[in-house]
Structure 1
Amino acid sequence: MTVGLFVWGFGALFYLLGFFHRVAPAVITSELMRDFQISAAALGNLSAFYFYSYVFMQVPTGILADRWGPRRLLTAGALIASVGAVIFALAPTFGWAGVGRFLIGGSVAVAFVGLLKVAVGWFAPNRFALVSGLALFFGIVGAVFAGPPLRILVDHFGWRSVVLFSAVTTLLVGAGTWLFVRDYPHEKGYLDFSNPPSHAKQKPGSGILADLIEVFTYRNTILLFLIPGGMVGCVLTFSGLWGVPYLATVHGTSPAVAATLTSLLLVAWAVGGPFFGWLSDRLGNRKSLYVAGCGISVIGWIVIVMVNGLSLVSLSVVLWVTGFASGSMIISFAFVKESVPVRLSGTVSGVVNMGVMTGPMILQPAVGWVLDRMWAGDIASGVRVYSIDAYRSGFALMLAWITLSFVLLFFTRETGCRQTVE
């Protein structure tokens, strides 16, 4: 277990850095809009460049994880991510900034699926949901660093210097991954939890396209592709881009306080992920627990977006409960892994993670588009200011998707925490 955590930890550090880049634009919205002279819609697209490539890479990543193993994927991803971070930090124009974000997103796309594939090799099957939750925890620690700590560092050193430092850190993580990570315990002289050839061996005559088509023949794959996108889309659209200016407008908070509140949402998400993963494994249930978590999240987002006059204490409590309940989305990965043949675990993990990231990829620029459509012409310090009604209209898109997620959960097929397809 200790050696497994050490090996798995390098991928977890890479995932942490990827999450840092994912939500960093939320804290530096003013700097980005000012430096590149862009509107809310353009800022939403700049942030979403990360998700465009991230989503595109999920299925190839899952397939390659099944066929090549996670070590090479994680190492290559870290190296390319460091290059993307350098381009973003030095970008003289909006176009170059987009290129940097695109490279970062596409390269860190391998992190989560690689982590899940390492978990298949290095941990017992009854630990999979818990380890998936711990992966989310590491990722959100990165997101928390992209909150108040990033704001403090940016105030002292500027956003470009901080992003350059993250590039160096990512490069070091990539080097450590190549040196210390192995795909299976036997490569370090330990006994395997499962027989590696059974995971690596493909069905006779199968190919990449055939594998992809096959995973979609299982009902849970389709549903669990759509469901987590609504939950994660809400969390990352709010905490990763539009929550800070929304809280400043609606509740009159400073950027630092608003960043703290959005980080609270992320911390709760980080705690909720391992908890729901552990509880799901312990109870031997996926569906009911997921339905409960998603239902609480729907109610929480309605309160956050639509209820007037919340005190900061009340708002903090609602953000915490909503974030914690949103951690139930981590059940998706164990749920879907048990719904398809084991040899396709990487492929189906990539498919579901593609659905996860489709949420923020669509919602971040969509909310920005609505904000620009409803902009009344107000400007402060060279940055557009949007009304409460504009924010609520934009966030209505979030509410619609997460409500759909809740409804679709009732159509999933329970696995009982057992591999239902061999």
Structure 2
Amino acid sequence: APRTEPAVWRVPGIRLAFFGHMGTQFSMMVFSLLWGVPYLVSVHGLTATAAALLITLIVVTALCTSPLIGLLAARYPARRDWIFLAVIGLTATVWTVLLAWRGQAPLWLLVVLVVVLGIGGPGSVVAFDVARASILPHRLGIAQGMANLGGYSATPVVLALMGLLLTAFGGFNATAFRVAWLAQYPLWALA
């Protein structure tokens, strides 16, 4: 039997779902899974408890913004790509402001960052709707899996690159983290 994966990948909507999921999800995952707390504590002087509360705010934001993202995706199905682009653009913009900030960032800017990262979760789920609308039902499982691979392939790549860059630039210090967070930009450009 011929392989189904190449045929599914050739569908433009599946590629949009893959790259949309990639660009909207990985920054939130990298921050919340591994590098966010050390960054907030080492560079911005937060306590571990305050850093953990900011990570929790990512989840709260995702819960609060999910209905709005879902409503936008349902109301404007031909413009779901704009949701991806808006989330990616907003995330990259806030990171750019934060990384350009001299010294410790004010708490309000860190709150803005985690709120924007929280929007990335529901933004990435739009990829499954794009995949569903782009493929015949008997190939939906493969299409959903391909969409899901976007963010879950980018996340370990950025996690590892950041670890290498942090090591190369001296560990948990402001310069090393500033350079390490730059590893996100090529993946946003690719997405």
Aligned equivalents of 2:120 and 2:65: distance in 1? 6
Judged with a 3 Å threshold, the aligned counterparts in structure 2 of structure 1 residues 352 and 291 are, in CA distance, closer, same or farther, namely same
Aligned equivalents of 2:67 and 2:95: distance in 1? 21
1:370 alignment counterpart: 165
Give the superposition deviation at 1:345.
Answer: 0.9
Residue 191 of structure 2 corresponds to residue 396 of structure 1: no
Residue 94 of structure 2 corresponds to residue 300 of structure 1: yes
Aligned counterpart in structure 2 of residue 282 of structure 1, from 63, 75, 79: 75
2:125 alignment counterpart: 330
Which consecutive residues of structure 2, in runs of 5 or more, have no partner in the other structure? none
Aligned equivalents of 2:155 and 2:41: distance in 1? 21
SS of the equivalent of 1:338 reads helix
Aligned equivalents of 1:294 and 1:230: distance in 2? 6
Judged with a 3 Å threshold, the aligned counterparts in structure 2 of structure 1 residues 212 and 325 are, in CA distance, closer, same or farther, namely closer
Is the CA contact 1:234–1:360 (under 8 Å) kept in the aligned structure 2? yes
Aligned equivalents of 2:97 and 2:118: distance in 1? 13
Give the superposition deviation at 1:344.
Answer: 0.8
Aligned counterpart in structure 2 of residue 351 of structure 1, from 143, 146, 149: 146
More contact order relative to length (CA 8 Å, sep ≥ 6) = 2
Is the CA contact 1:232–1:356 (under 8 Å) kept in the aligned structure 2? yes
1:263 alignment counterpart: 56
SS of the equivalent of 1:323 reads helix
> Stretches of 4+ moved more than 3 A in 1?
none
Which consecutive residues of structure 1, in runs of 5 or more, have no partner in the other structure? 1-206, 376-384, 406-422
Aligned equivalents of 2:179 and 2:20: distance in 1? 22
Is the CA contact 1:301–1:399 (under 8 Å) kept in the aligned structure 2? no
Corresponding letter in the other structure for 1:358: S
Q: How many residues align?
A: 189
Aligned equivalents of 1:325 and 1:354: distance in 2? 15
1:362-420 Cα shifts (integer Å, max 9, x gaps): 11121111111112xxxxxxxxx521110111110112312332xxxxxxxxxxxxxxx
Give the superposition deviation at 1:210.
Answer: 2.3
Residue 4 of structure 2 corresponds to residue 218 of structure 1: no
1:171 alignment counterpart: none
User: Normalized against structure 1, the TM-score is what?
Assistant: 0.42
Aligned equivalents of 1:242 and 1:321: distance in 2? 16
Aligned equivalents of 1:243 and 1:391: distance in 2? 10
Aligned equivalents of 1:394 and 1:294: distance in 2? 18
Judged with a 3 Å threshold, the aligned counterparts in structure 2 of structure 1 residues 306 and 269 are, in CA distance, closer, same or farther, namely farther
Kindly, what percent of the aligned residue pairs are identical? 24
Give the superposition deviation at 1:325.
Answer: 5.1
Corresponding letter in the other structure for 2:85: V
User: Normalized against structure 2, the TM-score is what?
Assistant: 0.87
Judged with a 3 Å threshold, the aligned counterparts in structure 2 of structure 1 residues 318 and 260 are, in CA distance, closer, same or farther, namely same
Is the CA contact 2:14–2:130 (under 8 Å) kept in the aligned structure 1? no
Q: CA RMSD in A?
A: 2.0
1:169-225 Cα shifts (integer Å, max 9, x gaps): xxxxxxxxxxxxxxxxxxxxxxxxxxxxxxxxxxxxxx4x52212201212223432
Judged with a 3 Å threshold, the aligned counterparts in structure 2 of structure 1 residues 227 and 324 are, in CA distance, closer, same or farther, namely closer
Q: 1:236-247 maps to which residues of 2 (within 5 A)?
A: 236-247=29-40
Corresponding letter in the other structure for 2:123: S
Q: 1:6-405 maps to which residues of 2 (within 5 A)?
A: 207=1, 210-285=3-78, 286-308=80-102, 309-324=104-119, 327-375=122-170, 385-405=171-191
Aligned equivalents of 1:402 and 1:266: distance in 2? 22
